[in-house]
């Protein structure tokens, strides 16, 4: 049997050794650094809803979309990117701190959206070059068609007058 006094000493030593470690780890648990959205804008829903629901909002039946041109998504990925692209990289997924990547790295979520979709806002947010994936060829054809349709349908944005 270990004498009680020794047990107490051992216990206090353990506390002394462990306490700083615990304090450190709770104080230093890395939180995702989420870059702020474009100033003066409002999200399509409140932040709590967005954190919870954005995967559902963005869902589309990929094969239907790519092959059939059916767009089932409730929200626009282009719009997300327009507001959430980093001022530094111009992208939502170029650096670890960029909007979409910041949380996903933290929560170990992997998305393959950017194999087809551009990560930067541009007149054609659909990436013109789709180098990988089984649907790459079809996606590229569709993107090309959409680009032509878009060019015919939407006028160029008016130039902002210089002050
Ligand atoms: C018009 C600009 C705009 C658009 C479009 C937009 N957002 Fe936001 N988003 C914001 C702003 C501003 C915030 C900061 C929270 C707020 O609303 O006060 C935000 C917050 C968020 C948050 C919460 C971030 C946090 O700090 O926890 C998520 C997640 C999010 N947006 C995802 C999206 C997704 C996904 C889309 C596309 C479906 C999207 N947003 C479209 C402007 C936008
Ligand atoms: C506030 C943190 C946060 C931000 C910012 C964020 N996400 Fe997410 N995202 C998550 C979490 C957590 C999950 C997994 C939970 C879930 O599926 O409900 C997820 C899941 C997803 C999924 C589903 C993945 C799958 O395989 O089911 C998609 C698609 C997605 N996010 C797209 C985006 C896009 C695009 C952006 C940037 C516009 C973005 N997210 C920004 C936290 C975030
Ligand atoms: C194989 C290529 C491919 C992949 C991968 C892909 N998409 Fe798409 N997506 C398309 C095509 C093609 C369209 C239709 C073109 C358009 O409307 O810009 C589209 C359209 C969309 C739209 C509606 C148009 C808009 O406003 O952006 C959303 C939202 C969207 N995709 C979200 C996602 C998300 C989220 C992921 C990842 C989970 C994803 N896509 C992965 C090909 C793809």
pTM of the entire predicted model: 0.74
Identify the residues whose C-beta falls under 6 Å from ligand 1. Answer: 34, 37-38, 41-44, 47, 50-51, 54, 57-58, 75, 79-80, 83-84
Q: What pLDDT score does 102 carry?
A: 92
Q: What pLDDT score does 113 carry?
A: 92
Q: Are 43 and 50 in contact (CB under 8 A)?
A: yes
Neighbours of 66 (CB within 10 A): 22
Decide: residue 12, CB within 10 A, 0-12 exposed, 13-18 middle, 19+ buried.
exposed
**For atom 16 of ligand 2, which residue has the closest CA?**
55
What is the C-alpha separation between 27 and 45, in angstroms, rounded? 31
Q: Are 41 and 58 in contact (CB under 8 A)?
A: no
pLDDT in tens, 88-144: 999 999 998 899 999 998 888 999 999 999 999 976 545 544 445 556 666 666 666
pLDDT in tens, 20-62: 444 444 456 777 788 999 999 999 999 999 999 999 888 876 6
Q: Could you tell me the distance, in angstroms and rounded to a whole number, from the CA of residue 79 to the centre of ligand 2? A: 15
Q: What pLDDT score does 75 carry?
A: 81
Beta-bridge partner residues of 52: none
């Amino acid at each position: 049997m270990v004498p009680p006094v020794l047990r107490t000493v051992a216990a206090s030593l353990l506390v002394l050794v462990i306490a700083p470690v615990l304090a450190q780890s709770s104080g230093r648990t890395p939180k995702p650094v989420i870059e702020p959205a474009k100033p003066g804008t409002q999200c399509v829903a409140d932040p709590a809803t967005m954190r919870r629901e954005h995967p559902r909002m963005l869902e589309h039946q990929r094969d239907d979309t790519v092959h059939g041109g059916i767009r089932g998504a409730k929200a626009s990925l282009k719009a997300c990117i327009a507001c959430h692209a980093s001022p530094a990289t111009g992208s939502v997924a170029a650096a670890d701190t960029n909007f979409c990547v910041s949380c996903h790295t933290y929560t170990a979520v992997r998305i393959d959206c950017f194999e087809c979709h551009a990560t930067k806002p541009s007149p054609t947010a659909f990436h013109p070059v789709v180098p990988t994936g089984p649907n790459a060829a079809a996606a590229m054809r569709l993107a090309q068609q959409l680009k032509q349709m878009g060019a015919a349908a939407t006028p160029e944005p008016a130039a902002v007058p210089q002050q």
